[in-house]
Structure 1
Amino acid sequence: MSRTGTTSDRLTCAPSRAARELGLKRGDFDLAVNLGLIRAMPDEGGGGLRVALAELDRLRSGEGFPDALRGRVATVGTTAGAELMDVTPTRFTSLARYGLLIPVKFYLNRYRTVVWLYLAEELRQFAAEGSHARLLTARRTPMEIREGMKAGTDRRPRNWRGRHVGFLTRQAGDDPWARAAAVACLLDPADVADVVRDPRERTRLARCQPWLPAQGTPGSPTSELAETLMTASEPDEVAWFRADLAHTMETARRHHPVAAPAPAAPPSPCTSV
């Protein structure tokens, strides 16, 4: 455990220990939390998350543990995903770029190429759906997808952002400021400043900012590319995030307004010499 001494500490553990107890790699544990498969709670003493020992017991007693849990968080890239769906990698990429397959994670390899990862379970479900047979087995990719590829359509970054904001707001729970920060962290700072004019409120949002996947050394080309991928960019997407931020900010202000600054003390009267 990361801290000792309180009842909460004795009944909970840090994510690193929880991952070991559940036989998961840390990245798979984090994904399981994002997906709502593992219930975690904010660590009020030092930030981050903690997991109740009772939650570990619940998961360990589940049918098929640990393989069933590992299977639900298993991810695959393009090549393995194409094999799983019995399509060519080119067909798989077209379906993903068009927005029909939604990535759950990404990373940048040493060549700064974006590698998108998908839930294996979701790909199996997609392939098993009868209405998708034409997309998978037609001799040629459907016309609308081919036209989208010619136009340079790539909805993978946007779909990842849409999915990730759902993860972040779930983790924020009922905390209105944390929910607002979950939306704000995927917007350009200029958009946040335009929606949230009060610098004191922006400071509070910054304190509540959730964790985002780290990619590379801060300020490096890799980090800048990752930041671009994690920032809403398409006009209608930006408009949606801005509207959502404005709405969540109204709730945050209503329930926990930022304290007004103390009035300045009146100037001391001048003394004649």
Structure 2
Amino acid sequence: MSGNTVTHEVTSTSRTAATTGPAPFSQSRAARELGLKRSEFDLAVHLGHIRTRPAEAGGGRQVDRAEVERLRGQEGFPEALRKRVATVGTREGSAIMEVTAARFTRLARLGLLVPVTVHLNRYRTVVWRYLADELAEFAADAKHAQLLNRPLPETLRGQLDTGLDLRPQNWRGRHLGFLLSQAGDPWERAGVVASLLDPVRISEIVKDPYERAHLSRLRPPPPAHGTPGSPAAHLTERITTAQDPDEIDLLRADLARAVREARTHCPASRPASRHPDPRPHPDPRPHPDSHRHADSHPHPARRRRPPALGHCERLQPAATSRLSRGLLGRLFRGTT
């Protein structure tokens, strides 16, 4: 997600003419109308603070004007909305919780603090960011006083000594929830789950090459990373791909279940079938001049046909939410 404010407007006169009411805003325009940076807007959408819907012509999502007006009418707008999506790093987060940066990092590695975004800085260092409101709530809870002010229990120290770091896994679980909230049908949901697994594990679950190709087309793009094959790209891939055996097993089981549901809902697209031509066949003897055009006019049966694309009905958001709750509850570890 980019932290730069977008300075150009995207409009669609054809969409305006095709609708009876005011045209919805593009996401860039909605961010400007709400006074948010694009990174703040994207996070607000992911957290469910801003409702979006698929664009009528495809190719992204839009925000209804009524939704923008709803947010503008909320008490404390726009400062209250910005506060809900404010993120901090380790230094600012430790100041909010009034602990040392080392203690903050230990709590995050134990999974007690869940990052909401991740990126690589120019030194290829992983930078985790957390919701400021969540950190304040954690620190204000009396149940956490021992974790903040006293030596950590021996069991937790032992886990840290083994190298435990649940930040990547908990971020993946949170990111998965973001993606599933916008999945429109079972195949899209399966593509979201597949995006957290490496290709070898996907092929073990999904044997059909056409189904794997369909999932590949539906996989959401990974967070921004460096040039393919670069150290930054490899590091980003490691963060966004499940590593823990338990996490992998959960995702494998959910992918298998999601693909079964998707097959029932709508089969994956396959190459168009070649039906026999009902017209009379010409004389099988070659025409004297046929060799002149053999290369420029290949036989129709040898031409590669484009895939036959089917249409699947999109699920309602509530249905997609019900499908995702079970997996998300199992993926988060160490959180309170």
TM-score norm. by structure 1 comes to 0.92
| Structure 1 position 11, deviation (Å) | 2.2
- Report what 1:142 is aligned to: 153
Counterpart code for 1:87: V
Task: Give the aligned partner of residue 163 of structure 2.
Answer: 152
Report the CA distance shift for 1:143/1:269 in structure 2 as closer, same or farther (over 3 A). Answer: farther
- Which residue does 2:110 correspond to in 1? 98
Measure, in 1, the Cα distance between the counterparts of 2:81 and 2:71: 8
Aligned counterpart in structure 2 of residue 244 of structure 1, from 254, 257, 260 = 254
Is 2:121 the counterpart of 1:109? yes
Letter of the 2:210 partner, please give it. Answer: R
For 1:23 and 1:259, the matched residues in 2 are separated by 42
Q: TM-score, normalised by structure 2?
A: 0.76
SS at match of 1:161: helix
Deviation at 1:218, TM superposition (A): 2.7
The answer to whether 1:192 aligns with 2:202 is yes
Q: CA deviation at 1:20?
A: 0.8
Work out which of the residue numbers 268, 290, 294 in structure 2 matches 1:258: 268
Measured after TM superposition, the shift of residue 253 of structure 1 is 1.0
**Is 1:170 paired with 2:181?**
yes
Aligned pair partner of 2:240 in 221, 224, 230:
230
Counterpart Cα distance in 2 of 1:179 and 1:187:
14
Give the conservation status (yes or no) of the 8 Å contact 2:197–2:242: yes
**What secondary structure is seen at the aligned counterpart in 1 of 2:181?**
helix
Partners of 2:219 and 2:68 lie apart in 1 by 27
1:52-85: CA deviation from partner (whole Å, max 9, x where unpaired): 1111111111111001110010000001000000
From the superposition, tell whether residues 45 and 272 of structure 1 become closer, same or farther in structure 2 (CA, over 3 Å). Answer: closer
CA contact (8 A) 1:158 1:232 kept: yes
Shift of 1:149: 1.6
3-state SS of paired residue (1:205)? helix
Cα drift, residue 264 of structure 1: 4.7
Question: What RMSD in Å do the two structures reach over aligned CA positions?
Answer: 2.2
Q: Does 1:120 align with 2:132?
A: yes
TM-aligned CA distance change 1:200 to 1:269, over 3 Å: farther
Structure 2 unmatched runs, 5+: 1-9, 287-336
Distance (whole Å) between structure 1 residues aligned to residue 61 and residue 226 of structure 2: 23
Q: What is the deviation of 1:146?
A: 1.5
Aligned pair partner of 1:62 in 68, 74, 93: 74
- Which amino acid letter does the alignment assign opposite residue 189 of structure 2? R
Deviation at residue 207 of structure 1 after TM alignment: 2.2
Give the drift of 1:226: 0.6
Q: Report which stretch shifted further, 178-187 or 208-217.
A: 208-217
Cα-to-partner distance string for 1:120-156 (whole Å, 9 max, x where unaligned): 0110111111111110111x22222211221101000
The one-letter code matched in structure 2 to 1:143 is E
The alpha-carbon deviation at position 265 of structure 1 amounts to 5.7
- Hey, what does 2:36 align to over in structure 1? 24
Percent same amino acid at aligned positions? 54
Secondary structure of the structure 1 residue equivalent to 2:172: helix
Provide structure 1 residue ranges, at least 5 long, that are not aligned to the other structure.
none
How many residue pairs align between the two structures? 271
Cα distance in 2 for partners of 1:241, 1:225 equals: 21
Change (3 A) 1:196 1:261: same
Larger radius of gyration: 2
Structure-2 separation of matches of 1:25 and 1:272: 70
Q: Where in structure 2 are the equivalents of 1:39-50 lying within 5 Å? A: 39-50=51-62
Q: Is 9-18 or 103-112 further displaced after alignment?
A: 9-18
Aligned counterpart, 1:80: 92
Q: Cα offset for 1:10?
A: 4.4
Contact 1:107 1:116 in 2 (8 A): yes
Give distance in 1, aligned partners of 2:78 and 2:203. Answer: 45
